[in-house]
A and B are shown apart, each in its own frame.
Chain A
Amino acid sequence: MKSVVTTVIAAADAAGRFPSSSDLESVQGSIQRSAARLEAAEKLAGNLDAVAKEAYDACISKYSYLNNAGQANSTDTFKAKCHRDIKHYLRLIQYSLVVGGTGPLDEWGIAGQREVYRALGLPTAPYVEALSFARNRGCTPRDMSAQALTEYNALLDYAINSLS
């Protein structure tokens, strides 16, 4: 899984050398920033259900046609799946906050998502709306500190971009 530490180690290993002081500097930089990331991860973990519910409600209220018969949010099963998908994205964002890179989002969320949504005939605009709602909902200092919110929003932007 790609993170600052594994990238540094892979580069050192490719050159067959011990970790140099510049390698250690970059790891230290990542460690110094990680306090904010872990704060965001902790807050998001504590409120994941509420955040996902709000985001889901927001996208369904904007794209209410999804409730029509035959659409992606028409039955209870479909509704549960839509809600679960939003939660998956937020969970992967939480993972990316923990790791300190976009590795979990890339490997488990974004890789193949276009093909899957095309095969299932799902529109991506509601996902964008849901994640954008979460992106604009976060507020400092109510939810988390400013730096933590920056890290969180950056990952939401990354996920939104992948879907747009």
Chain B
Amino acid sequence: MLDAFSRAVVAADASTSVVGNLGALKQFIASGNRRLDAVNAIASNASCMVSDAIAGMICENQGLIQAGGNCYPNRRMAACLRDGEIVLRYVTYALLAGDASVLDDRCLNGLKETYAALGVPVTSTVRAVQIMKAQAAAHIQDTPSEARAGSKLRKMGSPVVDDRCSSLVAEAGSYFDRVISALS
């Protein structure tokens, strides 16, 4: 498992040179608290995000919860929720480390083959991940949808800078995209 720092070191070691470009790492440190806030925003809302993503996926494809569907009966629905949480958890780890290696090695490696063997539909899985991607962006920006959240609206209230952590939103999005491309 690597993080942003050890990734730079491994790259430098390949050419037996010192780590030359420290600018990116200084940037990582300077925005360290924002990164931790982003991780906290996802971790604190994880169960809500996962259940919403799976519910949204089923809403768009009711066949999943009818007899013969992949979220029927409860046992398989529970497995689905569990998998959603696992994916979100590894994306959170990757965001904390600033590197995708933990996501690749411990979550995505062999996931496509496993799902193919178990007969899990890829399109539905991808849809759930896409919903989680949008949710993660909203939580990192701290802009949950007031229209849709209704009485459940919850803001983290951490001090947010002007750009609303756009670089972290993009980085988290890239990890979700990585999950999607690994599955399809």
Contact = CB atoms under 8 A, between A and B. Distances in A.
A12 B26 CA distance: 26
Contacts of B32: 27-28, 31-32
Contact of B22 (A12, A13, A42): A42
Interface stretch (A54-62, A71-79, A96-104, A137-145): A96-104
Of A5, A13, A94, A104, most B-chain CB atoms within 10 Å: A5
A24 interface: yes
A6 B94 CA distance: 10
Contact of A98 (B8, B93, B96, B98): B8
Contacts, number: 102
A86 to B, nearest CB: 14
A45 B97 contact: no
A19 B5 contact: no
Interface string B1-43: 1110110111011001111101001100100110010011011
B96 A95 contact: no
DSSP class of A's interface residues: helix, strand, loop or mixed? helix
Nearest to A23: B96
Contacts of B178: none
Interface string A12-54: 1100111111001001100110110010011011001000000
Interface residues of A, number: 37
Contacts of B96: 5, 8-9, 19, 24, 27
A87 to B, nearest CB: 9
A45 B20 contact: yes
Contacts of A99: 5-6, 9
Contact of B9 (A1, A24, A34, A38): A1
A108 B10 CA distance: 11
Of B25, B26, B96, most A-chain CB atoms within 10 Å: B96
Nearest to B17: A91
Interface of B: 1-3, 5-6, 8-10, 12-13, 16-20, 22, 25-26, 29, 32-33, 36, 39-40, 42-43, 46, 89, 92-93, 96-98, 102, 106
5 contacts: A9-B97, A9-B102, A13-B106, A95-B18, A98-B5
Interface of A: 1, 3, 5-6, 8-10, 12-13, 16-21, 24, 27-28, 31-32, 34-35, 38, 41-42, 44-45, 48, 91, 94-95, 98-100, 103-104, 108
